[in-house]
Amino acid sequence: MRQPRIAIVGAGIGGLGLALALLRRGIVPQVYEQATQLGEIGAGISVSPNAVKALADLGLGEALRERADEPPRQRTCHFQTGATLIDIDRSDTVQRYGAPYYQMHRADLHGLLVERIRALAPEALSVGRTLTDLRQHHDRVELTFESGSPASADALIAADGWRSRVRSLVFGVPEPQFSGYVAWRGLVPMERLDDPTLASGSRVSIGPGRLFVHYPVRRGRLLNFVAFARTGRAEIESWSQRGSVSEVAQTLADFHQGVHAILAATPDGQCHKWGLFARAPLPQWTSGRVALLGDAAHPMMPWFGQGAASALEDAVVLARCIVAADDLQHTFARYQDARLARVTMVHNESLQGGERLAGARPDLMSPATVRNEDTLGLFSYDPVTTPI
Ligand code: FAD
């Protein structure tokens, strides 16, 4: 039987996850990425057990064990006193959810995906290819790029992120709304910090309208932080806009000393700022020969750390559907049926997450009232065995 010609637009974690899931099932896709070099931003990422199950299916279980950090506990703390409000023991994560919980540098996760794809089929990756337009025909989809020759495929999977060009061309979705929150991120070399306890475990300090998350990455050599604050002033939605540590310190002036020690140790140029924009869940992800995946399909808010996890789940489920069904219509129908309800639930929850965390009165936060990834049951999902 002829191999399906699958084009993937976008070489982020989602697009590369799908490419590797297909390659491991004997299908060589073609990935088109707008950047001239493959890479990810300097920031941390939580890789929850549901995502680790997807990555194990991609053959990356051992590599993750070697390169990622496994937090023994995750604490939610009072913003002023630093007192622990919720303490989650992560030591039994494998027994509870069937896979570990990791935190790591984004570039390391992205790099692992690139490395494996290059080892299997280097010709699958094309860079410097910005998709500008597409046309669907009864037997193919034609792709036009800003430069270089056009391409044709049996199916197009759009993994082109939260501002997806394909989504706006095919589904014409409305403009996103500023959520009322801004965020800052930074990476701090651990040797700049005096407190050795920072090298293990992960913490979120919550106060009214603001929160500060930090955890180690690169096996404890770097500390990743993200700060969030409610504001009336919209900021641009960009991962690369420079931020100022003194602005974060001022915004979190009444936070405990641990937060300020981390901010004071942040090197110049290592703080970035951006606005969080909310987008409603889409009622459908597929149309004809086109399907959406990852942030292009479900650009959720970051409160549950589930965006990339959901993209990796999509990747494994879609690859399974492509192999199992003998025509495109059934492939995409199965994919959407298998994924839409779960991800819409996570997406809707993510829209409320900011107010639940940063809007909370920290003194009232307790394990009985919290609504998080654990209590929502997100970690038990297995994209390898879920029915399709
Ligand atoms: P992207 O990573 O955005 O990749 C899209 C790719 O498409 C890019 O390489 C882009 O260059 C390319 N592209 C775009 N347009 C075109 C075009 N026209 N032609 C060709 N190429 C194109 N998720 C988690 O699971 N865990 C976390 O801990 C976590 N923390 C987060 C923290 C914050 C503060 C934020 C904002 C998000 C967080 N997320 C987290 C979400 C996660 O970052 C995203 O969901 C994930 O990166 C989405 O991957 P993607 O591949 O779908 O899209």
Task: For residue 1, name the pLDDT band (cuts at 50, 70, 90).
Answer: low
Mutation choice for ligand 1 from 33, 212, 314, CB with most ligand atoms inside 8 A: 33
Atom of ligand 1 nearest to the CA of 159: 52
Q: Which residue has the tokens 């990339």?
A: 308
**How large is the average pLDDT for residues 39-67?**
95
Taking alpha carbons only, the member of 308, 306, 334 closest to residue 320 is: 334
Nearest Cα residue to atom 16 of ligand 1? 160
Examine the pLDDT at 310 and tell me if it is beyond 70.
yes
Is ligand 1 within 6 A of the CB of residue 307? yes
Nearest Cα residue to atom 34 of ligand 1? 302
Mutation choice for ligand 1 from 160, 213, 290, 318, CB with most ligand atoms inside 8 A: 160
Is ligand 1 within 6 A of the CB of residue 13? yes
What is the average pLDDT value for the chain, to the nearest integer? 93
Taking alpha carbons only, the member of 137, 104, 105, 113 closest to residue 33 is: 113
Residue 234, pLDDT score? 79
Examine the pLDDT at 222 and tell me if it is beyond 90.
yes
Q: Evaluate the CA torsion angle 341, 347, 351, 353 in order and state its sign.
A: positive
**How large is the average pLDDT for residues 166-192?**
92
**How large is the average pLDDT for residues 17-32?**
98
**97 assigned to active site:** no
Alpha carbon distance 309, 284 (integer Å): 20
Nearest Cα residue to atom 32 of ligand 1? 302
**How large is the average pLDDT for residues 302-320?**
96
Worst-scoring range by mean pLDDT, 80-89, 140-149, 198-207, 311-320? 198-207
Examine the pLDDT at 229 and tell me if it is beyond 70.
yes
Alpha carbon distance 188, 32 (integer Å): 33
Taking alpha carbons only, the member of 297, 302, 263, 260 closest to residue 280 is: 297
Atom of ligand 1 nearest to the CA of 226: 34
Q: Which of 32, 102, 181, 215 is catalytic?
A: 215
Q: How does pLDDT run across 62-76, given as a tens digit for each residue?
A: 999 999 999 999 999
Q: How does pLDDT run across 350-373, given as a tens digit for each residue?
A: 998 877 777 767 777 777 667 777
Residue 206, pLDDT score? 93
Is ligand 1 within 6 A of the CB of residue 9? yes
Is ligand 1 within 6 A of the CB of residue 32? yes
Mutation choice for ligand 1 from 8, 20, 32, 34, CB with most ligand atoms inside 8 A: 34
Nearest Cα residue to atom 15 of ligand 1? 160
Is ligand 1 within 6 A of the CB of residue 181? no
Task: For residue 233, name the pLDDT band (cuts at 50, 70, 90).
Answer: confident
Is ligand 1 within 6 A of the CB of residue 374? no
Atom of ligand 1 nearest to the CA of 16: 51
CA–CA distances in Å: residue 145 to residues 15, 131, 150, 300: 17, 4, 6, 27
Is ligand 1 within 6 A of the CB of residue 245? no
Reported pTM: 0.96
Q: How does pLDDT run across 282-299, given as a tens digit for each residue?
A: 999 999 999 999 999 999
Give me the half-sphere count of Cα atoms (radius 13 Å) on the Cβ side of residue 217. 21
Cβ-contact 161, 10 below 8 angstroms:
yes
Alpha carbon distance 143, 129 (integer Å): 11
